Structure 1
Amino acid sequence: MRGPEGVDIDASVDVVRDALLQPVAGPALPDHVVPGDRVVIAQAGNLPGGQVLSDAIYRAILQSLQAGGVSPDDIQLVIARPTIRSDDPSLTDDSSCTTNQPFPVNVFNPLNDGETAYLLANESGEPLHLARSLVDADVVLAVGSFGYDASLSGRSPEGELWPSFARQNRRQALVTSLLQNRRQALRHWRDEAEQITAQLGVLASLHLVAGNNQTLAGAAFGFPAASVTQARLLAKQWRPSPESRSTLTIAGITDQTCGFADLTRGLAAAARVTSHDGTVCVACTMHEEPGLIFTRWRQGIDLRMLLHEASDSDDIRLHMDALQTSLFARALGDRRLVLLSQLEQELVEDLDIGHAETPDAVNRLAQQADSVCVLHEANRLCPQKI
């Protein structure tokens, strides 16, 4: 199983340009703006592909904005770091942002309240703040990846304005609420995100769908809700429908910066196509040790007690660790896990996880299994439940 085929860099520019000029709903991007408008391009999280692909995407956006009479001097790109993927090393400082553009590029700092402005109050009367640059802009173009997170059983909150551009306390609140009640938290997030988008007056939303091997498969532009609907259609191959469960699933994660959140996502995707007493083998480049909560759980400490202790803490890193551990445990169930990674064998086995030294060890597992399923880029797949 694998996601949709992507296109090369040159074709990616055409894909984005066509989407901006042929929206699924609402006017084309050049018709959203007039000369003199202060335009903020709000990038939530990471875009598909690497730096070269990001530059190509923004070339297409710049051309469309200039066609509407906007000068590069009136354009600003603001990037928000991923919300949930705490172990993602990208966008950790200003050096990681896109620089090959004729307009300013800034990374939003959720820890600096001075970078935010009041937007509205939620149902409980709590004030909700958003990046000041977005609130003050004449036109906001929301840009983000549309994708799935199997550990959350569906669409990922990453790639959306809220809470990517919120203060740190609201970003932390999403993590904490996911830890306490995942389904309720996701429903609340969707409702609050819609309120934020409406209050901000965002009418231009570009959702990008990743293809295989760090490519771009498609782009959907238009009013926010319509853009999401179209992006879901473009991303349907990331949600394959398996015919049956296998006794062994090999889940490949090709990201060079594979972290624990990627591992959890890949495991959750594999669990959806693996028998309850089967084996999941994850092949990745992960080299960082798991967090304290995960380690203590795998060493035999009661998970409920660990999660309760973490939820009482003010340390967001413990909350992140607890959330990923909870999602990991839920996905694994009674299945056996084998890991081919850059972690030391002794460490992996101390975590009560099978260790595969080489790809040959994975091949031997496949030869011994009654049935095998292979997931390419498993951390982006979310197979339909059988």
Structure 2
Amino acid sequence: MLGLARLPLGLRYAPNYQKGQFQSNIGLLRVNSSISVGKMTQRSHSIPASFSLEFGAEKWHSTASNSMGEFPSPVIEPCGDLVAAVAQALSQPIDFPPLADAVMPDDQVVFAVDPSLPSLVEVVCEVLKWFVEHGTEPHNMHVVVADNQTRVAEDLTARLHEQISAKVSVESHDPDNPEGIAYVAANEESDPIYLNRRIVDADVVVPITCARPASALDYMGVFSVFPLFSDRKTRGNFYSLPKLGNAEEHQQLKHWADQAAWWLGLLFGIQVVPAGGNQVAEILAGQTEPLEQACQTRMNKLWQADAQPADLVVALLDGAPSQHGWYNVARALYNANQCVAPGGSIVVCSNLVEAVGSGLRRLRETHDTPEDIAKRLAKDAHDDALAASVVLEALADHHVYLVSQLRKETVESLGIGVIENEQQLVHLMSQHATCAVLRAAQHLSILPN
């Protein structure tokens, strides 16, 4: 299988992608201070007597005392026409020919979908519509979502069957199913590369992933097909906080992911730049390296923040309910931990319903030291082990609170405090001199102070 690999690597096509004007989606609430967003420093605005905090399906209306200082409300404008954005990206990709010229009518095309995509169902549906309009038969199209939550696959299946054809297949990747995973090759260190069998057997693979800043906790390059669609053991090797937190080891993991993409024959991908509010700011497509450069330019402009430490950081999770899982809680908490003052407090606001798994349950092992628990988590391959490691690290120096739909007793058993309503959050704010509000916190890139 060669994913769009028929064209010589040396070919270069002039990019022609739409450029737009964007504003930052980062809000900070602070006494007599300014914030730096991207390359610009913005002065915050006076906080109103009441304000709203949106996270997922929730919108809390709260009041703040004058002592809470200032509150800016910049937003990132979503693209106005998703259909046009998809057509623009696929018809004029960056340094790559139009996909209509690169995909043959009889090709088996697999779309490898990142479950963190904003407007996931709408984006994937429009991409597949474009392929059908340009000659790909529905029975030759297969969607693999890197998530074993059946609801995502069910919602996507219903929409694709309604708007395209019942012949389009949709499946969720299962890292624990050996029958659904195939060996690809070995990397330079002789480590095996395993990937979803449907992806390995395809003629063409089209990754559709959410753009993330290079500083993100689990950034693995522009495709992220590997390790998202790999086996359980490999995912455990990658999603280890000591490795991800070490710049050299993180780079080695990214290099491993790049090798996997090369062995798979991936030359092309689609990246969705988030706008916040489960919306899409821009869709970019193209050849590997220039696509990554373009995405990083966009993410740095839209989502990069240089914030001074605050006594309280409120991190708001963005996206549809299916995106309010422990992975995104970990990303938001990791970012909040970068801009909270020593001994300060962090609140993660989410619609989390995902159950506590084996990794997080290790936090209940009160007879062990945090160091011993951290060592076990570093080798734990369960999906929530990374989240547990991030929580454990944050708890070492800070108070951590969570807004979720989990039972209070369940959350508190992990050493995390519970915020149940707006009044409790406002009360907590009143106990801190400075407060930073991070909107769509899982997408942010916090610059080191």
Q: Please say whether Structure 1 and Structure 2 have the same fold, judged by a TM-score greater than 0.5.
A: yes
User: Which amino acid is 1:303 matched to?
Assistant: P
Could you list the per-position Cα deviations for residues 129-163 of structure 1 after superposition, in whole angstroms to 9, with x for gaps in the alignment? Answer: 433443443332222222259772x6367962212
Number of residue pairs aligned between Structure 1 and Structure 2:
366
1:261 aligned partner:
327
1:382 aligned partner:
445
Cα separation, partners in 2 of 1:18 and 1:40, compared to 1, 3 Å: same
Helix, strand or coil for the counterpart of 2:306?
Answer: coil
Cα separation, partners in 2 of 1:42 and 1:311, compared to 1, 3 Å: closer
Q: Does 1:13 align with 2:83?
A: yes
Cα separation, partners in 2 of 1:263 and 1:331, compared to 1, 3 Å: same
2:100 aligned partner:
30
2:142 aligned partner:
77
Cα separation, partners in 2 of 1:146 and 1:91, compared to 1, 3 Å: farther
Match of 1:297 among 363, 366, 373: 363
User: Which amino acid is 2:335 matched to?
Assistant: A
Q: CA deviation at 1:90?
A: 3.1
Q: Does 1:48 align with 2:114?
A: no
CA distance in structure 1 between the aligned counterparts of 2:289 and 2:150, rounded to whole angstroms: 27
Cα separation, partners in 2 of 1:294 and 1:132, compared to 1, 3 Å: closer
Q: Flag the structure with higher helix content.
A: 1
User: Which amino acid is 2:303 matched to?
Assistant: R
Please list, as runs of the form range in 1=range in 2, the aligned pairs for 1:110-125 lying within 5 A after superposition.
Answer: 110-125=175-190
Contact 2:213 2:443 in 1 (8 A): yes
| Unmatched segments (≥5 aa) in structure 1 | 83-88
CA distance in structure 2 between the aligned counterparts of 1:73 and 1:345, rounded to whole angstroms: 46
Match of 1:338 among 383, 386, 401: 401
Contact 2:220 2:257 in 1 (8 A): no
User: Which amino acid is 2:243 matched to?
Assistant: N
Please list, as runs of the form range in 1=range in 2, the aligned pairs for 1:130-209 lying within 5 A after superposition.
Answer: 130-148=195-213, 152=217, 155=219, 160-175=224-239, 178-179=240-241, 181-182=243-244, 183=246, 184-209=248-273
2:70 aligned partner:
none
Helix, strand or coil for the counterpart of 1:120?
Answer: strand
Normalised to the residue count of structure 2, the TM-score between the two structures is 0.71
| Unmatched segments (≥5 aa) in structure 2 | 1-25, 28-74
Please list, as runs of the form range in 1=range in 2, the aligned pairs for 1:175-324 lying within 5 A after superposition.
Answer: 175=239, 178-179=240-241, 181-182=243-244, 183=246, 184-237=248-301, 239-255=303-319, 256-257=321-322, 258-288=324-354, 290-291=356-357, 294=360, 297=363, 300=366, 301-309=368-376, 316-317=381-382, 320-324=383-387
Q: CA deviation at 1:174?
A: 2.4
Could you list the per-position Cα deviations for residues 188-236 of structure 1 after superposition, in whole angstroms to 9, with x for gaps in the alignment? Answer: 3321222222223222211111211111111111112221221222222
Q: CA deviation at 1:168?
A: 3.8
Quote the RMSD (CA, aligned, Å). Answer: 3.2
User: Which amino acid is 1:186 matched to?
Assistant: H
137-146 or 204-213, larger mean C-alpha shift:
137-146
Report the identity percentage: 23
CA distance in structure 1 between the aligned counterparts of 2:242 and 2:97, rounded to whole angstroms: 41
Contact 1:264 1:327 in 2 (8 A): yes
CA distance in structure 2 between the aligned counterparts of 1:114 and 1:41, rounded to whole angstroms: 20
1:85 aligned partner:
none
Q: CA deviation at 1:18?
A: 0.5
Cα separation, partners in 2 of 1:273 and 1:62, compared to 1, 3 Å: farther
Could you list the per-position Cα deviations for residues 1-52 of structure 1 after superposition, in whole angstroms to 9, with x for gaps in the alignment? Answer: 16733235xx111112111122221212112124433333332444222423
Cα separation, partners in 2 of 1:296 and 1:324, compared to 1, 3 Å: same
1:86 aligned partner:
none
Helix, strand or coil for the counterpart of 2:257?
Answer: helix
CA distance in structure 1 between the aligned counterparts of 2:409 and 2:151, rounded to whole angstroms: 30
Normalised to the residue count of structure 1, the TM-score between the two structures is 0.81
Contact 1:209 1:217 in 2 (8 A): yes
